[in-house]
């Protein structure tokens, strides 16, 4: 949580303080440049693409041709790489980089990234214990079952909901990417 202490809006007692500190120390997530991390702000689709791009070592990639990802915009390299690696897909030629990232979109991106590394993503948890399991979109069902099995996602609230359509806050993203980074590192070791 040492790195989190530098943020004016992250207290050491916050449930996400250690994750924010570690994610910052690993240069996976950054603050707003004005001393704040904005942990309760929603995050967008480009943010997770950027995190995974950094985890991958910031490789070069050709333009994916998304109509809403202009050359030179801060997330262009990350989104182009993520598309080329099969981590993200767009819809109707667009990526929607500034659209709020939902929890199910986040696990799909992590699932695709794990698969791109050649990791075993065949594990599946039984989601029937979650009251809102039926709310998980069809395209995200395998990824969500994998993420729960792998320990990346736990229930929200009292632990009996997945909240797949809820937007991921920056604090949640920090926790999720640290769990994923640990999983990826352990699998590659």
- Within 13 A of 16's CA, how many CA atoms are on the CB side? 20
Residue 69 has a pLDDT of 97
- Tell me which residue of 45, 79, 88, 31 sits closest to 59, measured CA to CA: 79
Residue 2 has a pLDDT of 57
Residues 6+ apart with CB under 8 A from 27: 54
C-alpha span between 69 and 76 (Å, rounded): 6
Going by the DSSP 8-state scheme, the letter that residue 83 receives in this structure is H
Q: What is the total residue count of the chain?
A: 189
**Confidence (pTM):** 0.92
Average pLDDT of every residue of the chain: 92
Residue 5 has a pLDDT of 65
Residue 16 has a pLDDT of 93
Residue 185 has a pLDDT of 84
pLDDT digits (tens, 9 = 90+) for 105-143: 999 999 999 999 999 999 999 999 999 999 999 999 999
Confidence band, pLDDT 50/70/90 cuts, at residue 172: very high
Flag whether pLDDT at 6 surpasses 90: no
């Amino acid at each position: 949580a040492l790195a989190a202490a530098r943020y004016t809006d992250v207290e050491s007692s916050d449930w996400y303080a250690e994750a924010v500190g570690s994610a910052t120390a690993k240069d996976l997530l950054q603050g707003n440049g004005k001393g704040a991390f904005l942990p309760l702000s929603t995050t967008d689709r480009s943010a997770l693409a950027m995190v995974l791009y950094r985890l991958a070592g910031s490789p070069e990639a050709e333009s994916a041709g998304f109509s809403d990802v202009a050359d030179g915009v801060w997330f262009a390299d990350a989104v182009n790489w993520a598309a080329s690696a099969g981590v993200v897909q767009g819809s109707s030629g667009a990526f929607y980089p500034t659209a709020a990232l939902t929890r199910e979109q986040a696990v799909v991106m992590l699932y695709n990234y794990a698969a791109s590394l050649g990791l075993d993503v065949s594990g599946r948890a039984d989601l029937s214990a979650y009251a809102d399991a039926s709310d998980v979109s069809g395209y995200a069902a395998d990824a969500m079952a994998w993420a729960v099995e792998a320990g990346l996602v736990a229930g929200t609230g009292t632990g009996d909901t997945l909240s797949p359509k809820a937007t991921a806050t920056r604090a949640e993203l920090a926790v999720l990417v640290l769990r994923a980074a640990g999983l990826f590192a352990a699998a590659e070791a």
